[in-house]
Amino acid sequence: MRRPASRRFVRLIVGLVLVLVAVVFGWRYWVITDQTNDRMTAVTAPVPEEVASSPTSEPAVTAPATTAPPASSSSQPVATTVPPTPVVMSIDPTHLFIPSIGVNTTMAPKPTELQWNEFLKQRVPMFGVPDDLYTTTWWSEVKPGERGPDGELPVILGHTQVGGGYGVFNDLGTLQAGADVALEDDGGNVMRFQVISVVAGVDKYDPNALRQVLQNAPTTADLVIMTCSGTFNGDYHASEENTVVFAEQVPANG
C-alpha cells in the first residue's frame, strides 16, 4: 500500500533535521578541538632563550599564612621568539613567559567583575579570571608599567588545578626570588620582571586578607601574579586560599 504523501513529507523533514543536527554538532566539535589545540600549542611551545636564562636565585620570601577573599584568580598567535627588550612605558600584553615553571601562554585583558563569592556569601567585585586552565588574564584597569589612581599594581591571573590535572599556574607558589617573568604585546614589545617575593596561604574566608597583602606589597614591586591555592572545597568548587607573587620591572638595559 502506498503511504500518503503527507507521511512521506514528514519523514523527509525529519531526515533533513537530523542531518542538520549532525552538521552543527560536527562543526562545534571541530571548533572546540581547534581552540584546545591552539591553547595547548601556546602552553607547550619552547620558551625563547632570552627569557629562559634566569639567574641563580635564593628562595623567595614566603609570608606566614594569612588567608584570601577571592579577588581571585587567553588567544593570540604564539610567540616563537622574544626580541631584545625595547624601551616601553607600558604594555598591553598578549603573551606571558615564566621559564622556571614552564609557563609560555597567551593573555587577555579582563575588567573587575561583580560576582557571587561563596566564601563570603555575597556579591563582591573580583578580578576577571581566565575562561580555561591553559591561558591567563591581566586586570584591564592597570596596564603593566603603570599604576592605578590609588597606586594599584598591575595584576595577572591564572588557574591552578589543586589535587591533580593541568593548570597554567600549578607551580606559581614554587617561584624563587630572581626568577624571570616576561610580557610581550602584539607589536613585539617586551617588558621583563624579576620575582621579589611569594605570599602563600591568603585565606578566602577573610574579607580583608587579600586586600592587606596587596596594600603591603614590597616597595619595589611593579607587578602582581596571582592564583588559587590551598585545600579544594568541593561544596564551593574552588580552593580556599590564594597565592600572590610580587615582581619588579627589569630596566630595558638591565
Q: pTM for this structure?
A: 0.70
The predicted-structure confidence for 41-81, as pLDDT tens digits, reads as follows 554 455 555 554 433 333 343 333 333 333 433 333 344 34
Average pLDDT over residues 141-160: 96
Both 29 and 65 in one domain: the answer is: no
Q: How far apart are CA 146 and CA 4, in angstroms?
A: 75
pLDDT of 153 above 60: yes
pLDDT-derived band of residue 149, with 50, 70 and 90 as boundaries?
very high
Per-residue model confidence as pLDDT tens digits over 112-143: 988 878 888 888 888 999 999 999 999 999 99
In terms of domains, do 8 and 54 share one? no
Asked if residue 77 and residue 22 are part of one domain, the reply reads no
Same domain, 12 and 68: no
Enclosing domain of residue 209? 49-249
Total domain count, the chain: 2
Residues 89 and 64: their CA atoms lie apart, in Å, by 34
- pLDDT at position 71: 40
Task: Judge if 101 and 220 occupy the same domain.
Answer: yes
Reply yes or no on whether the pLDDT at 108 is more than 50: yes
132 and 219 in a common domain:
yes
Over residues 209-214, the mean pLDDT reads: 94
Q: Which pLDDT value is given to residue 66?
A: 35
Are both 166 and 103 inside the same structural domain? yes
Domain of 148: which CATH number?
2.40.260.10
Q: Are 109 and 154 contained in the same domain?
A: yes
Residue 3 belongs to some domain of the structure: yes
Q: Is residue 150 part of a domain?
A: yes
With respect to residue 142, please indicate whether it lies within any of the assigned structural domains: yes
Alpha-carbon distances, residue 131 vs 73, 117, 230, 237, 242 (angstroms): 11, 17, 21, 15, 18
Q: How far apart are CA 49 and CA 55, in angstroms?
A: 13
Together in a domain, 55 and 31: no
Whether residue 239 has pLDDT greater than 90: no
State the chain's mean pLDDT as an integer: 77
Cα gap 159→153, rounded to integer Å:
20
Pair 250, 51: CB distance under 8 Å: no
Q: What is the pLDDT of residue 88?
A: 63
Domain final position from 44, 63, 79: 44
| pLDDT (mean) for 223-252 | 88
Tell me the percentage of the chain whose pLDDT exceeds 70. Answer: 64
Q: Mean pLDDT across the stretch 211-223?
A: 96
Q: Are 165 and 242 in the same domain?
A: yes
Q: Which residue shows C-alpha cell 635564593?
A: 58
- Cα distance between residue 63 and residue 164, in whole Å: 25
Q: State the Cα–Cα distance between residues 222 and 96, nearest whole angstrom.
A: 15
pLDDT at 82 (0 to 100)? 47
Instruction: Confirm whether 58 is domain-assigned.
Output: yes
- Whether 74 and 8 map to the same domain: the answer is no
Domain assignment present for 254: no
Say yes or no: 85 and 62 in one domain: yes
206 domain residue, yes or no: yes
